[in-house]
């Protein structure tokens, strides 16, 4: 009888001990690493700059189409906004291509060539790859300035796009639509920083 009681007690205690050793409780373990996409890359460069995809998601006409039920838009207005959204996307296509080209140069070589095997390189090449050459650093700084100018240009473009989108909205729904666009402006501010 004692051996059965002892076996039942051990069966209950062993899982508790195993979970305590592995850190299986509700607190996260210190050795669990967060995914690489949520960590800023580029060493001391801080957070990554937004991509052109982030900007294209801020198309005000497409946003209002998505929120059509919230502001009760008629089908004719939705059709006009869809056409305008396509025009805005087409108008910004070359800007986004240029933006991505400049943005590529703001990332250190180590980010662009993350798959390169360090042990295949000479010691000098490893040091240059890790620290970045002077020319690369100058190019990165120049590209960062250009990128900030392009972000400011996008803000100006988006303001014009938002005004054009709001012209399509009937007067009765204009305030609600303007409030939604203002919320989306807040998302832009989070992406690229506060007002210029």
Interatomic CA distance for residues 91 and 72, integer angstroms = 28
39, part of any domain = no
CA distance 82 to 66: 10
Sign of the C-alpha dihedral, residues 9, 14, 15, 16? positive
Q: Cβ(68)–Cβ(173) under 8 Å?
A: no
Position 124 in a domain: yes
Residues with Cβ within 8 Å of residue 144, at least 6 apart in sequence: 106
Q: How many domains does the chain have?
A: 1
Phi (first) and psi of residue 107, to 5 degrees:
-100, 135
Domain membership flag for residue 116: yes
- Predicted TM-score (pTM) of the model is 0.62
80-84, 121-125, 129-133, 134-138: which has the highest mean pLDDT?
A: 80-84
The verdict on residue 27 lying in a domain is no
Residue-wise pLDDT for 42-63, tens only, equals: 333 445 788 899 999 999 999 9
DSSP 25: S
Q: Does 33 reside within a domain?
A: no
* pLDDT above 90: percentage of residues in the chain: 44
Cα–Cα distance measured from residue 100 to residue 95, given in angstroms and rounded to the nearest whole number: 9
Domain that holds residue 177: 48-192
For residue 40, tell me if it sits in a domain. no
124: part of which helix (H) or strand (E)? helix 123-131
Residue in the structure block whose two tokens are 């580029």: 42
């Amino acid at each position: 009888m004692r051996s059965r009681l002892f076996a039942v007690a051990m069966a209950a205690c062993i899982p508790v001990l195993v979970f305590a050793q592995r850190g299986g409780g509700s607190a996260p373990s210190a050795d669990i690493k967060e995914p690489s996409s949520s960590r800023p890359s580029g060493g001391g460069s801080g957070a990554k700059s937004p991509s052109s995809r982030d900007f294209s998601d801020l198309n005000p006409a497409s946003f209002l189409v998505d929120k059509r039920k919230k502001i009760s838009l008629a089908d004719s207005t939705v059709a006009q906004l869809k056409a305008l959204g396509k025009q805005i996307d087409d108008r910004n296509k070359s800007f986004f291509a240029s933006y991505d080209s400049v943005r590529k140069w703001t990332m250190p070589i180590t980010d662009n060539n993350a798959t390169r095997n360090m042990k295949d390189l000479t010691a000098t090449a490893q040091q240059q790859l890790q620290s970045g050459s002077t020319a690369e650093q100058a190019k990165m700084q120049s590209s960062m300035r250009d990128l900030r100018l392009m972000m400011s240009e996008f803000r100006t473009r988006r303001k014009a796009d938002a005004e054009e989108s709001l012209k399509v909205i009937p007067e009765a729904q204009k305030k609600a639509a303007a409030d939604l666009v203002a919320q989306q402006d807040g998302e832009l501010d989070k992406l690229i920083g506060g007002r210029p």
